[in-house]
Structure 1
Amino acid sequence: MAESLRGGVIGAGVFGGYHARQYAKQDGVVLSAVLDTHPERAALVAMPLGGRAFHEIDAFLEAVDVVTVASPGTRHAEHALAALAAGKPVYVEKPIAVVMAEAEKIRAAAEAGGLIVACGHQERVVFRAMGLLDVPEQPLRLEALRHGPPSARSQDVSAVLDLMVHDIDLALSLSAAQPNGRDGRFSASGGWDEIQAEIGFDDGFTAVFDVSRQAPARKRTMRVVFPSGEVEIDFLARTFRNTTPFVLNPDFADTPAGRDPLGASVASFLMAVRGEAPRPVVDADEAIRALDLALAVEQAIN
């Protein structure tokens, strides 16, 4: 059996903990190191899983073979570029960066080094488990709502880059058309915590996004209208209603990928690193496309 990859996680927050546990339980990889500016937080995540805590990035990079970047969004590019410069494949939590120039640097560094870059838009895994990515029709309309109560998480970025970028990626995964990201209707309330956007695509497809970080309770739904019917999804209940003639998997939540989308996403990254799969679930090109449209929404609101 080949030697296990040594996994490292940058960021010891909630998502850093999720990723550290993935490396600790996935086949063919061990959790080797966690990096955080607060060594005590890194230790709390790393040590119970058999890893070591670091607060200095050069030493951390020497201790790992693959890296997950789960630091605050405004530092994703800095940390991804440091890992790529050290020759390490990278899984970056969304968004891949917060400005396009930084995202392009990540793509260029990965291509120059022949390295895999994956991005944490793991709800693509849910769409795949449902069978929605195999529907042989282009959608006419998508309506996505993603609301949650106030949280201290991801306050360094807007609700567009924190929440809406998930549904932007899903819309882009369903439609082969090109978005007119600077044409549409946009509104914001509550600062950058409540955003609504309606975006047209060049084939007539319309995507409507509604996100809030000030809601009284969590709600995550999506309605996708096709020429032959529609699919309504409740992401929290993990159920859907399908009136199209196309067969979707009603038991998707009970599949391995449906039960653990993050695990499936990380596993695909590791398989791509080992050469066992041609690509991760979401690659750098797709992450950059989602970022580009998200930034267009921000620019339109500004």
Structure 2
Amino acid sequence: MSIKIGQVGVGHLGERHCAALQQINDTELVGIFDINQEKCKKVSSQYKTRAFNSLSSLIKEVDALVVAVPTRHHHEIVKKALEEDRHVFVEKPITTYVHEAEQLVELAEKRQVILQVGHVERFNPAILALSGQKLAPMFIEAHRLSTFDPRGTDVAVVLDLMIHDLDLILHLVESPLVKIDASGVAVISSEIDIANARLQFANGCVANVTASRISLKKMRKMRLLQKDAYIGVDFLNRSTEVFRLVNPSEIHDMDPSLIMDQFSTFSGKNILHQKFTNQDSQINPLKLELEAFVKSIQTGQPPLVDGKVAMEVLRVANKIIQIIEGQKTHLQS
């Protein structure tokens, strides 16, 4: 049975959602809604779907809603859909404030519908390549730098860019977060444009995270260090490199080209070098996460990033913003 889906918001990201939805099996893009009705009609014509003139009329015609609007509107729109027992996929961050997210999570549970949040890097081939690796990181360094683009400046860079890495770090480190240090500054917009945060976990792991939207070039990289291993992730190039110390007994059946110089000072261990690269343009992480959303609706299984997971990421992001804003207040007093 085909799942009827409606799209709210047809800006830059919204159009990408429309294109992806039309490529997914067992779905029908019933229509779209945007407060900019001229743009809405133009996009509806392009994707051969219906332009609705109100949110409520669209909700009535669908089983699920995909929401790609400015963050400040997330709570209002998602709440309306959940109250009508509609499944919802909403772009990250789930909301601007934690209390809004708490309300949506509670409502989704009460109505027994799927609430998935678009933390798309979970579906990046560079991250998917780690699924077969034994991970226990003790130090993480992440850099997410972007050139300036007015889109997204309605929120701090912590909610715009850094939140991708916060989600991944909280997912990878299986230990409670115990301490946050942070600094940042607004340079071009009225919100924080560059930020750095240091996260410390109960198991001793430390993560150093930097995000900027005023850089000269893009960079989206993460480095993970753990006992006997270094892992480098390049999100832009969709590549992952793993350097791991292994005993000679472990390498007999391995490709010799993967084995690097022997470490005589480390009891004869060898360096195993693996590189995973997938630049296939046909692999679309956004499509993958929407396919996962559809599968969750069909099976009733919770999504990879549900409302609860996204809410905890938002909680950390808001704490970082509060720390930075508190420093500014202190300096001005």
Q: By the TM > 0.5 criterion, same fold?
A: yes
Aligned match of 1:184: 181
Residue 202 (structure 2) pairs with residue 202 (structure 1): yes
Contact 1:143 1:223 in 2 (8 A): yes
The counterpart of 2:290, out of the listed 266, 271, 274, is 266
- Displacement, 1:128? 7.6
Separation in 1, partners of 2:213, 2:9: 22
Contact 1:122 1:261 in 2 (8 A): yes
Aligned match of 1:297: 320
Contact 1:129 1:255 in 2 (8 A): no
- Displacement, 1:254? 4.2
Of the structure 1 ranges 220-229 and 43-52, higher mean CA displacement relative to structure 2 is found in 43-52
Residue 95 (structure 2) pairs with residue 97 (structure 1): yes
The counterpart of 2:304, out of the listed 281, 284, 294, is 281
Superimposed CA distance per residue, residues 158-189 of structure 1 (whole angstroms, 9 cap, x where no aligned partner)? 100000000000101111111135x3243335
Contact 2:92 2:117 in 1 (8 A): yes
> Kindly tell me: are residues 255 and 12 of structure 1, through their superposed partners in 2, closer, same or farther at Cα, counting changes over 3 Å?
closer
Superimposed CA distance per residue, residues 245-286 of structure 1 (whole angstroms, 9 cap, x where no aligned partner)? 689671444497xx21111110011011011x6222211111
- 1:44-83 map, 5 Å: 44-83=42-81
- Displacement, 1:137? 3.5
Aligned match of 1:231: 231
Separation in 2, partners of 1:268, 1:40: 31
Question: SS of 2:244's equivalent?
Answer: coil
Separation in 1, partners of 2:86, 2:289: 18
Q: Matched residues, percent identical?
A: 28
> Kindly tell me: are residues 271 and 19 of structure 1, through their superposed partners in 2, closer, same or farther at Cα, counting changes over 3 Å?
same
Separation in 2, partners of 1:76, 1:222: 29
Contact 1:186 1:198 in 2 (8 A): no
Contact 1:268 1:279 in 2 (8 A): no
Q: Which residue identity is paired with 2:181?
A: G
Separation in 2, partners of 1:61, 1:249: 45
Question: SS of 1:198's equivalent?
Answer: strand
Q: Which residue identity is paired with 2:308?
A: D
TM-score by length of 2: 0.84
Separation in 1, partners of 2:82, 2:126: 29
> Kindly tell me: are residues 281 and 252 of structure 1, through their superposed partners in 2, closer, same or farther at Cα, counting changes over 3 Å?
farther
- Return the index of the structure with the highest Cα Rg: 2
Superimposed CA distance per residue, residues 119-138 of structure 1 (whole angstroms, 9 cap, x where no aligned partner)? 10121122686432443332
TM-score by length of 1: 0.92
- Displacement, 1:24? 1.3
Question: SS of 1:172's equivalent?
Answer: helix
Question: SS of 2:231's equivalent?
Answer: strand
Separation in 2, partners of 1:248, 1:189: 40
Residue 120 (structure 2) pairs with residue 122 (structure 1): yes
Separation in 1, partners of 2:236, 2:170: 21
Superimposed CA distance per residue, residues 26-54 of structure 1 (whole angstroms, 9 cap, x where no aligned partner)? 10112111111111111222222221112
Separation in 2, partners of 1:5, 1:116: 13
- 1:149-188 map, 5 Å: 149-181=147-179, 183-188=180-185
Q: Which residue identity is paired with 1:52?
A: R
Question: SS of 1:166's equivalent?
Answer: helix
Q: Which residue identity is paired with 1:226?
A: Q
Superimposed CA distance per residue, residues 87-110 of structure 1 (whole angstroms, 9 cap, x where no aligned partner)? 110001000011011001110110
- Displacement, 1:116? 0.3
CA-atom RMSD in angstroms? 2.0
> Kindly tell me: are residues 207 and 129 of structure 1, through their superposed partners in 2, closer, same or farther at Cα, counting changes over 3 Å?
closer
Structure 2 unaligned runs (5+)?
Answer: 246-271, 326-333
Q: Which residue identity is paired with 1:262?
A: L
Of the structure 1 ranges 279-288 and 170-179, higher mean CA displacement relative to structure 2 is found in 279-288
Contact 1:269 1:279 in 2 (8 A): no
- Displacement, 1:59? 0.8
Aligned match of 1:250: 276
Question: SS of 2:41's equivalent?
Answer: helix
Of the structure 1 ranges 132-141 and 158-167, higher mean CA displacement relative to structure 2 is found in 132-141
Aligned match of 2:329: none
> Kindly tell me: are residues 6 and 197 of structure 1, through their superposed partners in 2, closer, same or farther at Cα, counting changes over 3 Å?
same
